[in-house]
Structure 1
């Protein structure tokens, strides 16, 4: 994976303040996912699968309208927010202490 990491964007928040942001690990998670390492992708960024599900539903909804689409999308946005915040807090307070 070292050849892929050469092309990844650095985290501005981490380089300036020295603290991970809530999106740190997302690029590496996508790279791991594309390599077929699904478990490592989840551990790198736990919200990867719910974000992919949300993106699939949003793209599908552009072409096909269905009942409760807004409610489903809002629910997935809230779920993603909870997963991202929870994993960030876990990483900041449990792993680094």
Structure 2
């Protein structure tokens, strides 16, 4: 049976150094979202809920320019980075 999990890229950082990178879990979180498992997606990679709106808005803004788009993009990007770093530190300490 074809499953997206069979085609996920392995983490090179984890294979070489033995610990996860800042992006580990993002592919599985997207897979969980596709399958409707929203809580599992958040537990796997909390920044998924800020990254997806960020990428969608950047894509829409590419075709339709908004007046204050840069403020929203910067806010979502900063929020995403903060969530990624905090969740990464939490993973390392638990």
Q: TM-score by structure 1 length?
A: 0.90
**1:14-67, Cα deviation, whole Å (9 max, x unpaired):** 000001000000010011110111110111000001000101110111121112
Unaligned runs of 5+ in 2: none
Supply the RMSD in Å over aligned alpha carbons.
Answer: 1.3
Unaligned runs of 5+ in 1: none
Hey, which bits of structure 1, 4+ residues long, moved more than 6 A?
none
Q: Distance in 1 between matches of 2:57 and 2:6?
A: 31
Aligned twin of 2:80: 80
Aligned twin of 2:21: 21
Q: How does 1:1-97 map to 2 (within 5 A)?
A: 3-93=3-93, 95=94
Q: TM-score by structure 2 length?
A: 0.93
Count of matched residue positions in the alignment of Structure 1 and Structure 2: 93
